[in-house]
Structure 1
Amino acid sequence: MYVFLEQKPLQIVIRNYTEQDFEQMIAIQQESFPPPYPSDLWWKHEQLKQHVSLFPQGALCAVADGKLVGSMTALRVGSDQLQGSHTWEAIADQGYIRNHDPSGDTLYVVDLCVVPAFRKAGIGKWLMQSMYEVVVHLQCDRLLGCGRMPGYHRHAHEASAQEYLDNVVSGIWEDPVVSFLLRCGRTPVGVAENYLDDEESGHYGALMQWVNPFITIDREEE
């Protein structure tokens, strides 16, 4: 497909990442999540091997000029794995996704990143759209994930995490991650406390979903 970067068309390819892409996958993480983001949360070779082995359909990357510029990773989980509150470490199995359930009805996003130089090209939105297509293809009920709220630390003195999320959704405040997810069609379902070691987000995450409209229609017809 073509995206536009600085008003110029740029050809990109979205595909599944493979073992040959691991070095570039790690480089994407390092460039996309610099300190104070914890470096121990960047992908490791062992984790990436599990992704492409256990659930290759949920391992996506974006390529421009032969170089990886973005990636997105997900696994399938069942409703029992989402009971109560959860952390990124628990739902992602510390990034190894060994808890992937091939019959799970929810596609859970554990990572989405685009290198800074390409963020204005809409690549993140296309990765998200591609993962929606995976949801439809696999006949999952929904896509779910917990996004960072990096703007929350500026308002933590005046609002709870839920109030901050509500104000972003209402358009009172803007958050670079939450607002992006809203533009991608995701809707909030709540906040998760102590979701990630992330001081900017107050260690909270915004739990947001996209519901498979085809599954919804089928159930209504039944």
Structure 2
Amino acid sequence: MSIYRKDIYVFDGDRPVKALIRSYTEADFEGLIRIQQESFPPPFSPELWWNEEQLGNHVRLFPEGALCVEIEGELAASMTGMLVNYNPGDPDHSWVEMTDAGYICNHLADGNTLYVVDIGARPAYRKLGLGKWLMLSMYEVVVRLNLQRLLGGGRLPGYDRVADEMSAQDYVQAVIEGKLKDPVLTFLLRCGRTPVRLMADYLDDEESHNYAMLMEWRNPFLPQES
């Protein structure tokens, strides 16, 4: 098992703030569930918040994909991944299918792709840019494990505001062209993720009308598919 630990400074405006990005453990479960509750309030389904059985699987099956950020002793953000075998020609999938509903019992130790199961930050800490730091840290895991890519479905929580005016595909295109901003899709683009395709019925998510944009980051040290 490889333990991840990285001390950095993040910024609250112009003020540097010490932060620790590290592997999470069983001792962190209460704080991780709090992150979920604060990150994904209703109308997001509370049934999709982590429970202790899921978190136990994360640290047991793939500890390299279980990361959190600690600020002054408080858990502020977390990110969870698992390994899958992915082929760009594969059919669409749902979050439940790909992640075993967050239990990751289908994690493949010899998989070629790190799949993002979840990322979230407590609202009080979001101005510190912790989500981007977690994403960059998970890219480091991709490189260390010699994987082909990081992959995951990004919610479209801003789509609900314009769903009566445009299709989900047109909404995504407008965000990519900079005509609109989406809290998740714009964030992923800023993190270096690139669009793969729009997927329907990805997650029970009222704000996104159940759509998600499959987004990837390819390992720059490996040959790329055409």
Q: TM-score range by the shorter chain?
A: over 0.9
Runs of 4+ in 1 over 3 A off after TM superposition: none
What's the secondary structure of 1:134's corresponding residue?
A: helix
Of 81, 84, 98, the residue aligned with 1:77 is: 84
Summarize the alignment of residues 182-201 of structure 1 with structure 2, pairs less than 5 Å apart: 182-201=189-208
Q: Which runs of 5+ in 2 are unaligned?
A: 1-7
Q: Give the alignment's TM-score, normalised by structure 1.
A: 0.95
Of 99, 106, 127, the residue aligned with 2:106 is: 99
2:175 aligns to what?
Answer: 168
Instruction: Look up the equivalent residue of 2:83 and give its one-letter code.
Output: R
What's the secondary structure of 1:199's corresponding residue?
A: coil
CA distance, structure 2, for counterparts of residue 80 and residue 193 of structure 1? 19
1:118 aligns to what?
Answer: 125
**What RMSD over aligned residues (CA atoms) do the two structures have, in Å?**
1.6
2:211 maps to 1:215: no
Q: Which runs of 5+ in 1 are unaligned?
A: none
Q: Give the alignment's TM-score, normalised by structure 2.
A: 0.93
2:72 aligns to what?
Answer: 65
2:153 aligns to what?
Answer: 146
Please report how far the alpha carbon of residue 81 of structure 1 lies from its aligned counterpart in structure 2 after TM superposition. Answer: 11
Task: State the aligned residue count.
Answer: 219
What per-residue deviation string (whole Å, max 9, x for no partner) do you get for residues 6-51 of structure 1? 4311100000000000010001101111111100100000000000
- Percent of matched pairs sharing the same residue: 55
CA distance, structure 2, for counterparts of residue 7 and residue 146 of structure 1? 33
CA distance, structure 1, for counterparts of residue 13 and residue 29 of structure 2? 28
- Asked if the contact 1:50/1:98 (under 8 Å) is kept, the reply is yes
2:138 aligns to what?
Answer: 131
Higher helix share: 1
